[in-house]
């Protein structure tokens, strides 16, 4: 998010620029022979922490008991480290058979031939039953009508906030939707209470998520079906102007709050008392912060909430894998088996299929918290929008850099908008 420290997305852009797609496409490696007894070993890469790895390995153990001829060798890394790990494996001629893919990269990796088209392996009586995928994310993972990914979860944006801090500050909590100015008035109370060492809210102008939510509330989209920006320079100018005013008033933290929180997050280092984040992250963020975070309503100036059902991550298979049928069987198990839904709970998000709905352990308060929020907003959720364009993730990184300069008062709003749209012409050409 800044020049002083690498962004959590910078690594992805650098890898793409250095030929991640080409490496994965060209370096499928030698065809691996079937092991003794007719068994195969799938290599499975995912991102997360040791807690998630424990849960996923429990799922793998169940799968291997029922598929004795298919072994799964898992390997995980933190999100930023995942992409160099994936690139290195591919460049060495040994890409994983099954991998997690972020929504920001599904179009790029799909269009560059990195991910296999699973259409022929999906459907009635085939390896992957896609009829059970929940309606809101049913078309997610399709790139040019090719099925390059299956959602492993889905979740929605929420306003994470520390209810105790907000109450002590005498601020009205966002239990019901407010317009943005009203919310910022309450956020400023929190900032004043924390003597500006803890601000009311993280800055929603410093990442694509805040921009996307705002644009959707205005009836616009971040990306069109054709992979173009779905909003104009004037739209961004209005948004940046509002956010910059709120920052100057003290309702929002500045870029220094983000930089000083790395490698953590402003919400977990107690530099802010609220932020926009995916709802399934609330448990982990609460643990890191050391106090419980609540899930509130996202502010909006219109009748639209701006939030939608988003795949928490996709499961894809390498186009060069010699074991596509076995990879598809494993993917089907992860998205459809109820035991997986029970084991994972909401660690990755809400279950992606009707097969797994209701399987999570409701005795877990973190599961109940996310499910309660999802029930509250389900009538306002829109279907998953078009994925970012090829190069869209790189543009997200550039957005962070431009926003940082703006919020450090190094450039004006007009200059920030011009820089962003000039870069978009280059990145999306």
**CATH number, position 64:** 3.40.190.10
43-57, 91-105, 401-415: least confidently modelled range: 91-105
Identify the domain containing residue 62 by its residue range.
10-155+310-377
179 shares a domain with 133: no
DSSP-derived secondary structure letter, 121: G
Q: What is the 3-state secondary structure (H, E, C) of 153-211?
A: CEECEEEEECHHHHHHCCCCCCCCCCCHHHHHHHHHHHHHHCCCCCECECCCCCCHHHH
CB atoms within 10 A of CB 256: 14
Structure confidence by residue, pLDDT tens digits, 105-134: 888 888 888 899 999 999 888 999 999 998
407 shares a domain with 359: no
The confidence score (pLDDT) of residue 154 equals 87
Is it the case that residue 9 has pLDDT exceeding 80? no
User: Which pLDDT band, with edges at 50, 70 and 90, does 8 fall under?
Assistant: very low
**Rounded Cα gap, residues 425 and 408, in angstroms:** 25
**Rounded Cα gap, residues 84 and 90, in angstroms:** 10
Q: What is the mean pLDDT of the chain?
A: 88
User: Regarding predicted confidence, which is higher, 290 or 125?
Assistant: 290
247 shares a domain with 184: yes
Nearest to 52 by CA among 73, 67, 71, 74: 74
Q: What share of the chain is helix, strand, coil (3-state, %, to 5)?
A: 45, 15, 40
pTM equals 0.80
166 shares a domain with 86: no
248 shares a domain with 128: no
The position carrying tokens 């906030």 is 161
Cα→Cα distances 148→14, 37, 122, 276, Å: 23, 31, 11, 29
**Rounded Cα gap, residues 283 and 5, in angstroms:** 26
Structure confidence by residue, pLDDT tens digits, 144-155: 889 999 999 988
Structure confidence by residue, pLDDT tens digits, 207-263: 889 999 999 999 999 999 888 999 999 999 999 999 999 999 999 999 999 999 988
**Rounded Cα gap, residues 153 and 348, in angstroms:** 6
How many domains in the chain? 2
**Rounded Cα gap, residues 87 and 97, in angstroms:** 13
**Rounded Cα gap, residues 103 and 388, in angstroms:** 8
234 shares a domain with 175: yes
**Rounded Cα gap, residues 279 and 25, in angstroms:** 34
Is it the case that residue 165 has pLDDT exceeding 50? yes
């Amino acid at each position: 998010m800044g020049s002083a420290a690498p962004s959590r997305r910078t690594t992805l852009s650098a890898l793409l620029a250095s030929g991640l797609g080409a490496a994965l496409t060209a370096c499928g490696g030698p065809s691996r022979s079937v092991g003794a007894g007719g068994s195969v070993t799938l290599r499975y890469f995912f991102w997360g922490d040791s807690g998630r790895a424990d849960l996923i390995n429990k799922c793998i153990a169940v799968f291997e008991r029922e598929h004795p001829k298919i072994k799964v060798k898992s390997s995980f890394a933190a999100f930023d480290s995942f992409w160099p790990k994936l690139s290195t494996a591919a460049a060495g001629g040994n890409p994983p058979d099954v991998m997690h893919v972020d929504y920001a990269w599904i179009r790029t990796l799909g269009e560059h031939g990195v991910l296999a088209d699973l259409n022929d392996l999906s459907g009635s009586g085939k390896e992957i039953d896609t009829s059970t995928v929940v309606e809101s994310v049913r078309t997610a993972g399709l790139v040019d009508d090719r099925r390059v990914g299956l959602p492993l979860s889905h979740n929605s944006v929420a306003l994470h906030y520390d209810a105790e801090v907000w109450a002590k500050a005498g601020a009205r909590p966002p239990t019901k939707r407010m317009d943005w100015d009203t919310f910022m008035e309450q956020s400023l109370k929190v900032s004043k209470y924390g003597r500006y060492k803890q601000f009311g809210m993280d800055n929603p102008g410093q990442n694509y998520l805040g921009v996307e939510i705002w644009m959707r509330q205005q009836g616009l989209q971040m990306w069109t079906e054709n992979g173009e920006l779905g909003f104009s320079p004037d739209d961004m100018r209005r948004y940046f102007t509002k956010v910059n005013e709120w920052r100057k008033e003290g309702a929002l933290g500045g870029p220094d709050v983000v930089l000083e929180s790395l490698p953590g997050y402003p919400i977990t280092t107690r530099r802010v008392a609220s932020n926009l984040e995916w709802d399934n992250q609330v448990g982990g963020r609460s643990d890191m912060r050391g106090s419980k975070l609540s899930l509130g309503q996202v502010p909006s100036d219109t009748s639209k909430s701006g939030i939608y059902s988003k795949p928490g991550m996709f499961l894809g298979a390498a186009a060069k894998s010699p074991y596509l049928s076995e990879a598809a069987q494993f993917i089907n198990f992860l998205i459809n088996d109820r035991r997986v839904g029970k084991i994972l709970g909401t660690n990755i998000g809400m279950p992606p299929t009707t097969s797994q709905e209701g399987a999570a352990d409701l005795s877990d308060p973190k599961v109940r918290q996310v499910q309660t929020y999802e029930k509250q907003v389900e009538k306002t959720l829109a279907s998953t929008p078009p994925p970012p364009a090829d190069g869209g993730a790189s543009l997200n990184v550039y957005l962070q850099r431009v926003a940082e300069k703006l919020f450090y008062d190094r450039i004006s709003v007009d200059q920030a908008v011009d820089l962003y749209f000039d870069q978009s012409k280059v990145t999306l050409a």
